[in-house]
Amino acid sequence: MGYGYRAFICIEVPEEVRVRIRSFAESLHWPWARIVPDSQLHITLFFFESAEEAQLKGIASAMSGTNFGAFNITLAGVDVFTPDRPHVLVARVTDDKGLASLYRSLEYGLHKFGVRTDERPFVPHVTMARFKRLGPGALAEVVSMHMRLSGEALGTFRCGEIKLKRSTLTPKGPIYEDLHTVPASHSI
């Protein structure tokens, strides 16, 4: 068995929405939060902890065989994962069913190629910041913010492609490399 790569299928967030997300995250002024760099803002559809070369080829083939139309995605609402012990701040995703349809089509294609997927429910989001250990005061601030901003609109954008990326972990954070891109075949 060879070396496995961390990889994921995602939808990238365009620059104009990334600027809004960064501005929002920075406006919180939380010293215990590490803001995700603009270049790493995306919606993860599927994550693969240790994908070998053959599996990456199967993933790329499944992606290429997925016929999907371009659709709008709206980032509306700020949330934390998990509420009892928050470790990330996220922007919630809404759309007109295009994302759910794309997810199901990809999942079907991945299974056809023998690629196992996560059994947890799909909760589309964009991670904006990661938290260090939170003390009681910081935890109260996060919960309070969550209650105030549950409807905060951060932008709408058009999903016109999906990407397979490899993630290499470094002491300064992950480095992403594009491996495969599939454009939408039509518009919805």
Q: Give the domains, in start order, of the chain with CATH numbers.
A: 5-74+97-125+158-187 (3.90.1140.10)
Taking only the tens place, the pLDDT of each residue in 79-132 is 878 766 778 889 989 866 899 999 999 999 999 999 989 888 899 999 999 887
Q: What percent of the chain has pLDDT over 70?
A: 85
* Cα–Cα distance, 149 to 38 (Å, whole number): 21
Residue 63, pLDDT > 90, answer: yes
Taking residues 6-10, report their average pLDDT: 97
76 Cβ contact list (under 8 Å, min separation 6): 91, 92, 94, 151, 152, 153, 154
Please give the C-alpha separations between residue 102 and each of 66, 119, 150, 186, in angstroms, as whole numbers: 8, 17, 26, 13
154 Cβ contact list (under 8 Å, min separation 6): 17, 20, 21, 24, 75, 76, 78, 91
Per-residue pLDDT at 88 = 86
Q: Supply the pTM of this predicted model.
A: 0.89
Per-residue pLDDT at 86 = 73
Per-residue pLDDT at 183 = 97
Per-residue pLDDT at 1 = 46
